Amino acid sequence: MIKAEELTIKKTGELLRARAFSARELAEAFLKKIELENKKINAYIEVFDDCIKDADRADRAIAEGGGDALTGIPLAIKDAILIKDRRCSAASRMLEQYRATYDAHVISRLRGAHAVFIGRTNMDEFAMGASTENSAFGPVKNPHDISRVPGGSSGGSAAAVAANLALGALGSDTGGSIRQPASFCGVVGLKPTYGAVSRRGLIAMASSLDQIGPIAKNVDDVEIFFNAIRSKDPEDSTSLEYRPNSVPAGRRTIIGVPRDFLKGVDADVLAHFEQTLKKLSENGYEIKDIAIPHIASSLSVYYILMPAEASANLARFDGIRYGLSVQGGDIFSTYKNTRAHGFGREVQRRILLGTYVLSAGYYDAYYNKANAVRGLIKSEFEKAFEEADIIATPTAPTPAFKIGEIKDPVSMYLADIFTVPVNLVGIPAISVPSGTVSREDSSLPLGFQAMAPHFGEERLFEVGRSVEKIR
């Protein structure tokens, strides 16, 4: 069989349909590779040994002349997305023994395509983090340098794809949790338009920001994956009919760059970004400086709204209804004991922040004001997209940093500076590998982030493929 590092979703699908090998043989090869290599990077919390049954179903579909681009493809699933009868813990002790009672909508879509679920991937607890160091099951390590983080919160999904332990993976993105780890691990990650992919069956962190999306080795694979999971879900009130918003045929694509926003960026990251823009210009794109005056306030707005929504969503984990329960002498003690033992430090920190900004006397001063600025940022992006077809920034201000290197939470939050505006506005964005930098004998990937207006994923795939060709 061809080596895993030589396989992509598109190529593997073609080989499976040509009967070069079976889906069962493919799944067995990936299970063996995971057994040998996962301990080194800790990408998977659980591997589904019985995925061979999925593979056999895929082989039958292919034999009957059915199947599509994802039939028989081994996929990793972030441990915040429900798969019926499987454990789903959000990498938290609070839900360590919880088993899903239904399939998430995206899982139903993938089952219909006869994809193979190879395992559930590690993540920052309840998706709160930018490094995947906050998991109750230990940190994930970057396959390019195991002394460094893979990014977060979908670090396990990105690391699994980068280490060739899956051909694609599902992640979720609340403020950059698909794109930032994709950048750190040298793979492609897409945060779709809010509502283009159903959130039903995703353990919620911040409901107005969360979005499920794909991670894969290249743009073609991400497009295949995205087209398989996008659809309007009648059981998700935020789900929308997809209406493609592409650049008119024959018109030169304009890439807008908010240069005033590119401050405090690692010098090598900025140099690679400018080099990528120069090459895109040489390949037919128009590069244009644009202004988004309040984009610099995005991080502040995000870290008011996100903890507020998270504190409300996590209030359900009380030790009474389901999940961990650490009994006390009375109901208040049970609440206190359960949350103290079940939630990690970062989750506790964000619950406290969120509860504070929603409390009497501070709601108007913080939460309402942040919502007002969010509206202002949205209107400024709409105006910016009247000037440009795509908006571009680096995905992250630095390459992957060392595990344990950043101890100050505020410094860690700065890793999201270029990604959070996308979630506030609800637009799609993609991170595509754009080169590497050297750090202490390691070659570390960098990501180029492209943003598009609502339902502009086709624009992202176009520019993403261009970045792949020129890097």
Q: Which residues are catalytic?
A: 78, 153, 177
- Spatial neighbors of 147 by CB under 8 A, at least 6 apart, are 141, 402, 403
Peptide bond into 153 cis (omega under 30): yes
Contact 339, 320 (CB under 8 A): no
3-state secondary structure of 306: helix
- Spatial neighbors of 162 by CB under 8 A, at least 6 apart, are 142, 143, 144, 150, 185, 186, 187
Q: Any alpha helices (H) in 43-124, and if so which ranges? A: 51-63, 105-112
Instruction: Tell me which residue of 286, 158, 293 sits closest to 222, measured CA to CA.
Output: 158
- CA distances from residue 351 to 126, 157, 344, 348 in whole angstroms, order as listed: 11, 25, 11, 5
- Alpha-carbon distance of 219 to 431, in angstroms, equals 9
CA 242 from centre of chain:
20
Between strands 390-394 and 254-257, the pairing is parallel
- Alpha-carbon distance of 177 to 192, in angstroms, equals 12
- Alpha-carbon distance of 159 to 173, in angstroms, equals 16
Instruction: Tell me which residue of 203, 370, 397, 375 sits closest to 302, measured CA to CA.
Output: 370
